[in-house]
Amino acid sequence: MGLEIMDEVRRDYTYNLVRRGKREDGRGFQDYREIKVEKGIIKRAEGSARVKIGNTEVLVGVKLE
């Protein structure tokens, strides 16, 4: 019973967001998170980059032998 109620609450919440043209984080459907790309982050790697999209951050490095 409890899970069914939570499913209904979640469905209603999502439905109301869509009706207002919003995502869960408050952005509109056409709004995007800030994107930042930095290269050469890891000095010992042949190639590296850090990509930030909103609060998400990815760091990648390539080392050749």
What pLDDT shows up at residue 1?
A: 62
Q: Where are the beta strands (DSSP E) in the chain?
A: 35-39, 47-53, 56-62
Report pLDDT digits (tens) over 11-57.
999 999 999 999 988 899 999 999 999 999 999 999 999 999 999 99
What pLDDT shows up at residue 16?
A: 92
Distance of alpha carbon 18 from alpha carbon 28, whole angstroms:
9
User: Domains of the chain: which residue ranges?
Assistant: 1-31, 32-65
